[in-house]
Structure 1
Amino acid sequence: MVEVGQVMNAMIDYYRGDIKRINHFLKVYGFAKAIGEAEDLDQETQTILEVAALTHDIGIKNSELKYNSSAGKYQELEGPLEAELLLNNLSIQQNIIDRVCWLIAHHHTYNNINGIDHQILIEADFLVNAYEDNLSRDAIYRIYSKIFTTNRGKAFINLMYDE
């Protein structure tokens, strides 16, 4: 059984001293958890989603070291291996690791969304990034209209931006 709290603790340790990154993945986790529960996901999919939300940006450290960039394409490239190492150390089941790594490798890929866990991870990450990147309302609603499909994700955008 996966203990999501162990993954959270491991990620806080991984990003020790980096308050910005820790706060980011905790916020994404919160939105992903809430959207997943509202969508009534089965337990395994919910667990995969929560673990992916916590680890989705694990590739940033290596991206910045190797490419001097935290761009999404580098995160998708560098993240899966780091996540696999971290999750193996926590004795997470391989099928969960495999899906989490796939999600990390595609969490900035907004076309060809594959599965409800992928959809929710993208929505949760966007909810946080929209605020952290100070996107305009027009930009937020342009992206919202293109990628949001869950009722709770849509509701969060509307509640947050008072529409």
Structure 2
Amino acid sequence: MDLLHELTLSMIKYYQGDPKRIQHFIKVHSFARLIGTAEKLDDETLFILETAALTHDIGIKPAELKFNSCGGKLQEQEGPMPAKIMLTDLGFAPNVIERVCYLIAHHHTYDKIDGKDYQILIEADFLVNLYEDNLPEKAVRTALNRIFKTETGISLCKTIFNL
């Protein structure tokens, strides 16, 4: 079994009994992989992106337990530690863990995007959140103009939301 498969199963177990959160990270991973592949990421960057997509919201659970809130900044603050533990236990390489934890710690910060993996993770999360939150067309257009930068992400957003 490969690491991404093992990680997917570990994240499902982590969010056992919370199908909404499980469905969310599965969808974000699917869009991240789709965009990353279409944008021709190298294998290592794609692997980091997929790992981050599966774990990006891992901080929700500890944030809710500690603060009774799962706001974006709390997710960023509380996510790296459980991700580091899970990824280490599964045997991920230290450089992968370091970058994934960085992405988790910044996935709600949109003004300092420093790599294609980061950009695509944000776009994939937005594609899912715009739908799941049932946001109006104006919000979708605003996100399209401010957030989306990759050709594939822009095309997906326009197609999915019929813009």
Q: Distance in 1 between matches of 2:132 and 2:70?
A: 15
Instruction: Report Cα offsets for 1:104-154 as digits up to 9, x if no partner.
Output: 000000111110000000000000000111111101111210111111111
Please report the RMSD computed on the Cα atoms of aligned residues, expressed in angstroms. Answer: 1.1
Instruction: Report Cα offsets for 1:79-99 as digits up to 9, x if no partner.
Output: 000100000110100000000
Could you say which residue in structure 2 is the equivalent of 1:40? 40
- Does 2:57 align with 1:57? yes
Could you say which residue in structure 2 is the equivalent of 1:108? 108
Using the size of structure 2 for normalisation, the TM-score is 0.98
* AA partner of residue 121 (structure 1): L
Q: Distance in 2 between matches of 1:141 and 1:65?
A: 34
In the TM superposition, structure 1's runs of 4+ consecutive aligned residues that sit over 2 Å from their partners are none
Q: Distance in 2 between matches of 1:83 and 1:144?
A: 29
Give the match's secondary structure for 2:73. Answer: helix
Q: Distance in 2 between matches of 1:98 and 1:106?
A: 13
Could you say which residue in structure 2 is the equivalent of 1:72? 72
Using the size of structure 1 for normalisation, the TM-score is 0.98
Instruction: Report Cα offsets for 1:19-78 as digits up to 9, x if no partner.
Output: 000000000000000000000000000000000000000000010011111100000000
Q: Distance in 1 between matches of 2:160 and 2:143?
A: 15
Could you say which residue in structure 2 is the equivalent of 1:28? 28
How many corresponding residue pairs? 163
CA apart distance, 1:161 = 1.1
